[in-house]
Structure 1
Amino acid sequence: MLTRSIYMKKGFRKVEFEVSSNPMTYSGTINKSILLLVLLIISSVVSWSLFENIADSALILLITTAISGSLIGFITSMFPKISVFTAPIYTILEGLMLGTVSAYFESIVPRVAISAVLTTIAVCTTVLLIFKFKPGITHKLRKFIIIATFSIALLYILNYILNVIGLSFPYINDIGPIGIAINIFIIIIVAGNLLLDFDIIYTGVNNKAPKYMEWYASFGIMVTLVFMYTKILELFFRLFGRDYFKN
């Protein structure tokens, strides 16, 4: 193994690794991403199918999987080498969470979940095609996406704190034009994060990153997909579930 250190941007931090004699490859990363996607779908279907039988316990399952998934996701982002073990666990937990949320929204607004799934696929395909024809992203675009993502994360943290004391930011949960526009803007920024994920793979393969980075890159894609789907699901719920908000 060579000793030359390489840095790759991932979110708000840099991942450092040494050039490997057994580097990550596109095919390896694709295979692992497909495996994680299958785990995500299976766990989502399981929790969806159980929703009617565990309706009274669904909130407990939702909170447990959301907290556990977030914790494992944070640990994985800090220690990429363990992603070979933690990425599948994170994906399964997030799948259980998504299945529960989707089943709940579907019980209120029929076909909202399948609409969100198809839209997520369409957005991901569009981003992939964009990156395929123009691989790599500019420093300015990367900086904008990271700053926007950080701002959104901060907004949600502050909104959560305000909710605890009975307040909230105006429009963020609104079903009106401004609330929907905010939701769409967040989806666009999340799609930008998918560009960053693809850039991680592109940079890693070109710089001969070690094999475990295939798992780490695949984990990053799952994080982005999960958040993208939840925001798209929320958008459609706002658009088609207006009667629910009026009650």
Structure 2
Amino acid sequence: MKTTNPVLARLGQAAERERAAGYAQPGPYGQPGYPAAPGYPQQHTPYQQQYPAGAGYPAAPPTVTPMTLDDVVVKTVTLLAILGASAAAAWVLVPDAMVGVAWIGAAVVGLALGLIISFSRMANPALVVAYAVIEGVFVGMVSKAFNSLYDGIVLQAVAATFGVFFLMAMVYKARIIRATPKFTKILVSVMVGLFAAMLINFVLALFGVNTGLRDGSPIAIIFSLVCIVVASLSFVLNFAEIEEGVRMGLPQRYSWTAAFGILVGLVWLYIEILRLLSYFQGDD
């Protein structure tokens, strides 16, 4: 089955290369192949073709275990737990005077790791876990800074973030919004534009230039609302990738890549909700 999703196409090609290197050929929906019924030809893997029965070949390599929805759920919960522990540790251990430095440092390192994971052709659980740790420091520092100004805002942002996430999960399950090729193309283009705008704003802010995107002005409120909507819709792409990845029979470790995508969306959504809430806080 062909897919119009470039990420899934790339991961599917990587999975096929793994199987061609000697793993058992999967059956329907990623299940291992079984012996053919009587009267039908037996399908052999490249490994079996290279070493026919009785030729004294070494033990066959293990079958590739396909990922399941449960795998993605477990990996996502694991990454969230790691991020939460890292955020809590950073909140407690990093002195107030170092919050800004840790905030910027974690943002830069997290961006670099995120790009490496996104463009990598192989799933790398170690990098994904490292990303969760770094993002935990980033989230912890941002949360500590905002909570020092507006008490209780962090809990409000966390509740709103997971509320939006579960709402989008229900919307996707009901097929109210579908990840069609056109929808995917438009959303990805908008996301790239928003990330470019945020990156430019971040760099200019380091030099004291105010673009109006993060100062609480009407423009800043509109920008955060747009980011919240786009971040919410990005979960539709995540859910579609997971669903199609399971159907394609991607190897189990690619569930880390799927969980990484959800984690990125949750962090982005949380930060934007946190900012938006801060714009409506009173001065007292």
Evaluate the alpha carbon distance shift between residue 198 and residue 80 of structure 1 in structure 2; reply closer, same or farther with a 3 A threshold.
farther
> Residue 233 of structure 2 aligns to which amino acid in structure 1?
G
Equivalent of 2:182 in 134, 140, 144 = 140
Q: Aligned runs of 1:62-81 on 2, under 5 Å?
A: 62-81=103-122
Ranges in structure 2 where 5+ consecutive residues have no aligned partner: 20-25, 27-64
Q: CA 1:161/1:105 → structure 2, altered by over 3 Å: closer, same or farther? A: closer
| 2:199 pairs with one of 151, 157, 162 | 157
- Quote the residue 2:89 is aligned against: 46
* Cα distance in structure 1, aligned partners of 2:237 and 2:190: 13
**Deviation for aligned residue 1:68:** 1.7
Q: Identify which range, 54-63 or 223-232, moves more after superposition.
A: 54-63
Residue equivalent to 2:14: 17
Question: Matched residue of 2:76: which SS?
Answer: helix
1:174 and 1:65, CA in 2 relative to 1: closer, same or farther beyond 3 A?
closer
Matched, 1:195 2:236: yes
Partner of 1:186: 227
Are the structure 2 counterparts of residues 235 and 159 from structure 1 closer, same or farther at C-alpha, using a change threshold of 3 Å? same
Q: Distance in 2 between matches of 1:37 and 1:151?
A: 27
Task: Report 1 or 2 for greater relative contact order, CA contacts < 8 Å, sequence distance ≥ 6.
Answer: 1
Distance 1:196 1:79, change over 3 A: same
- Compute the TM-score of the two structures, normalised by the length of structure 1: 0.86
The offset of 1:84, in angstroms, is: 1.2
What is the root-mean-square deviation of aligned Cα atoms in Å?
Answer: 2.4
Maintained 8 Å contact 1:80/1:212? no
> Which residue of structure 2 lines up, in the alignment, with residue 98 of structure 1?
139
Aligned counterpart for 2:283 among listed residues 231, 236, 243: 243
For residues 136 and 88 of structure 1, what CA distance do their matches in structure 2 show? Answer: 30
Where do residues 79-94 of structure 1 align in structure 2 (5 Å cutoff)? 79-94=120-135
Question: Which residue number corresponds to residue 205 of structure 1?
Answer: 246
Q: Is the 8 A contact 1:105 1:113 kept in 2?
A: yes
More helix by share: 1
Is the CA contact (8 Å cut-off) linking 1:44 and 1:95 kept in structure 2? yes
Which structure has the highest strand share of the two? Answer: 1
Aligned CA distance change for structure 1 residues 68 and 60 (closer, same or farther; 3 Å)? same
- Give the letter aligned to residue 179 of structure 2: I
Cα drift, residue 38 of structure 1: 0.8
Structure 2 CA distance for partners of 1:119 and 1:10, relative to 1, 3 Å = farther
2:274 corresponds to 1:233: yes
Q: TM-score, normalised by structure 2?
A: 0.75
Say if 2:14 and 2:121, in contact at 8 Å, map to a contact too.
no
Partner deviation per Cα, 1:173-198 (whole Å, 9 max, x = no partner): 24233421221111100111111111
Matched-pair identity in %: 25
State how many pairs are aligned: 236
- In the alignment, structure 1 segments of 5+ residues that lack a partner are none
Amino acid at match of 1:179: A
Contact map agreement 2:235 2:262 (CA 8 A) in 1: yes
